[in-house]
Amino acid sequence: MWRFVKNVGFTLIVPGTVGVYVPWMLAAPSGGAAALGLGARQLIAVVPLGFGAMVYLSCIWEFGVRGRGTPAPFDPPRNLVVWGPYRYVRNPMYLAVALVVLGWAVFFQSWSLLLYLAVVLACFHLFVLAIEEPSLERHFGAEYHAYRLAVRRWWPGRPYGSV
């Protein structure tokens, strides 16, 4: 139960800020939701918003149940998470948040949110290269090394463990 609470807390603070709070704050000065009706673009935005949310929730589930931890540095998983979306791409949680931001950019018809998305993606990439991958390599050793060689960082591919 405590792991669930920590995963929810992490979700609200980190991805909730990057994927929901900041996009809404950036879109509000240009009219925000109040200035928009529900048209075709807003309906199209449901696709990346919904898919991003589903992938993110699946990642959190895998971290909690199979990894026995959270994505938060204070409670990392005890097991390397290579199931669910992680079978296809090494960083599905970041991609899920990026899809949500893309969905808001479409919803609000906002170029500033597309620029924000580019900055977010650059920050994710730098964080993964400088901090996350070296940390996983130290913590999980050969297991992570084999996973890293088999699964792409950003583009989904063959499922991990498939022949």
On whether residue 158 sits in a domain, the answer given is: no
The beta-carbon contacts of 110-115 under 8 Å, at least 24 apart in sequence, are: 110/26, 110/27, 110/30, 112/26, 112/27, 112/30, 113/23, 113/26, 113/27
Q: How many CB atoms lie within 10 A of CB 21?
A: 13
- Give the pLDDT confidence score for residue 31 in this predicted structure: 53
pTM, two decimals, is 0.88
The answer to whether residue 88 sits within a structural domain is yes
The answer for residues whose C-beta is within 8 angstroms of residue 10's C-beta and 6 or more apart is 70, 71, 72
Residue 162 domain-assigned (yes or no): no
Question: Tell me, what's the pLDDT at 17?
Answer: 86
> How much is the pLDDT for 134?
96
Mean pLDDT per 10-residue section of the chain, whose length is 163 residues? 70 81 80 62 92 95 88 85 96 97 93 96 97 94 96 94 67
| Structural domain boundaries enclosing 140 | 2-150
Q: Is residue 111 part of a domain?
A: yes
pLDDT at position 94 is: 96
CA 26 to centroid of chain Cα atoms: 19
> What is the domain-level CATH number for residue 62?
1.20.120.1630
Q: Into how many domains does the chain fold?
A: 1
